[in-house]
Amino acid sequence: MTTIAEDLFGTLPDGRPVRRWTVRDGSGAGFSVMELGATILTLDVPDRHGAVADVVLGFDDPSRYLTESPYCGAVVGRVANRIAGGRFTLGGKACQLACNNGPNSLHGGTIGFDKRLWSGTSVTSAEGRGVRFTLTSPDGEEGYPGTVEVSVTYVWTEDQRLIVDYAVTSSAPTPFNISQHSYWNLAGAGTSALDHLLRIEADRYLPVDETLIPTGELAPVAGTPFDFRVAKPIGRDIEIDDIQLRHGGGYDHNLVPNGSGLRAVAELSDPASGRQMTLATDQPGLQLYSGNFLDGTIIGKGGTLYPHRSAVVLETQHFPDSPNQPHFPDAILRPEWPLASRTIFAFSVA
Ligand code: BGC
């Protein structure tokens, strides 16, 4: 029987309380989430001996998510990843966003969805139990047009899948690209994730320029370090002298999963513990980010130091810079076409 408990996770510097929900199944597996950023705080799953460990990075205090978190566990938006120059033109009107990542806009701008206080409520559905968060992003927020109503629902199933459902409407056309930004380390935090095996069903990826904006090409992965079609350790090719790996400081690229509609796109596993995670999504892109900017200075939950590349982020999303690249899948949310999208993280042991 899955239980849900609600408590106060902490208080922000301006005095706003931040509530947390903890969802746990009969085996002790489950997750916790908070209202700030609709963020996944913990995700506990068993290893092959039944020992449960927390497999996501994070912090013990909500304030640290405002000041030093590299988007740990958060929902990122209104537009995940980068928009070149923070500029786009929509319906003949030029829009300028804050450039919060070198010359570009990253993850929704200065105060993206990750830094907003969402409103949560527990939910029970046919698939399981969990939490729904809602947020209103007003017209003009961070320079984006249209009022956007967002809901993100996390549900934990009996067979240990975390289902993430997005439901979004907008009062006017706006670029929109929402994603879940959990940092995974299936061994439990604090160790390198480079030994994890990763398989991604993608024949193509998006090469980038030195500011991590896609060049526009959909390049074959064959013969490159971006070929994950057969499972390999994340670290196997990461030090190859390759211009793309140099631009990213490792993997920080959007792969183009084969097929369309809700489909399995990736599988991550930790050979030592036996924990594995399969990722399914209906989104056209998957950002593979190997934690290159974790520089070994962050101290996270329980005082654990997070070393360089000690986690991997797998972001289901639209292609980066879509508003400026007309041949990419359309990432404009329109009033007449609300968004309903699903991503599933399924856990098991080998
Ligand atoms: C981006 C990285 C960025 C990170 C922020 C990822 O989604 O691709 O370039 O540094 O988010 O922590």
Distance CA 9, CA 111 (A): 21
Distance CA 4, CA 179 (A): 24
Would you state the pLDDT for residue 137? 98
pLDDT digits (tens, 9 = 90+) for 142-177: 999 999 999 999 999 999 999 999 999 999 999 999
pTM of this structure? 0.98
User: Looking at the predicted structure, is the pLDDT value of residue 91 above 90?
Assistant: yes
Average pLDDT over residues 192-216: 98
pLDDT band at 27; cut points 50, 70, 90: very high
How many whole angstroms from 284 Cα to the centroid of ligand 1?
18
Q: How far is CA 321 from CA 70, 244, 285, in A?
A: 20, 17, 12
Query: How does 53-76 read in b/e, with b if 16+ C-beta sit within 10 Å?
Result: bbbbbbbeebbbbbeebbbbbbbb
Would you state the pLDDT for residue 197? 98
Would you state the pLDDT for residue 283? 98
3-state class (DSSP) for residue 96:
strand
Shortest CA distance to 194 belongs to which of 237, 156, 152? 237
Would you state the pLDDT for residue 226? 98
pLDDT digits (tens, 9 = 90+) for 256-300: 999 999 999 999 999 999 999 999 999 999 999 999 999 999 999
Distance CA 313, CA 271 (A): 18
Would you state the pLDDT for residue 14? 97
pLDDT band at 189; cut points 50, 70, 90: confident
Helical residues (DSSP H) of 23-153, grouped into ranges: 62-67
- Percent of the chain surpassing pLDDT 70: 100
Distance CA 330, CA 324 (A): 10
Contact 29, 53 (CB under 8 A): no
pLDDT digits (tens, 9 = 90+) for 59-72: 999 999 999 999 99
How many whole angstroms from 289 Cα to the centroid of ligand 1?
7
Ligand 1 binding residues, C-beta < 6 A: 70-71, 81, 212, 252, 287, 289, 293, 313, 315
Best probe residue, ligand 1, of 178, 181, 213, 252 (max atoms within 8 Å of C-beta) = 252
User: Looking at the predicted structure, is the pLDDT value of residue 74 above 90?
Assistant: yes
Best probe residue, ligand 1, of 59, 106, 319 (max atoms within 8 Å of C-beta) = 106
What number of residues does the chain have?
350
User: Looking at the predicted structure, is the pLDDT value of residue 221 above 90?
Assistant: yes
How many whole angstroms from 347 Cα to the centroid of ligand 1?
24
Please name the amino acid found at residue 20: R
User: Looking at the predicted structure, is the pLDDT value of residue 227 above 90?
Assistant: yes
Distance CA 316, CA 257 (A): 10
Distance CA 233, CA 136 (A): 40
Contact 122, 131 (CB under 8 A): yes
Which residues carry out catalysis? 181, 315
3-state class (DSSP) for residue 321:
coil
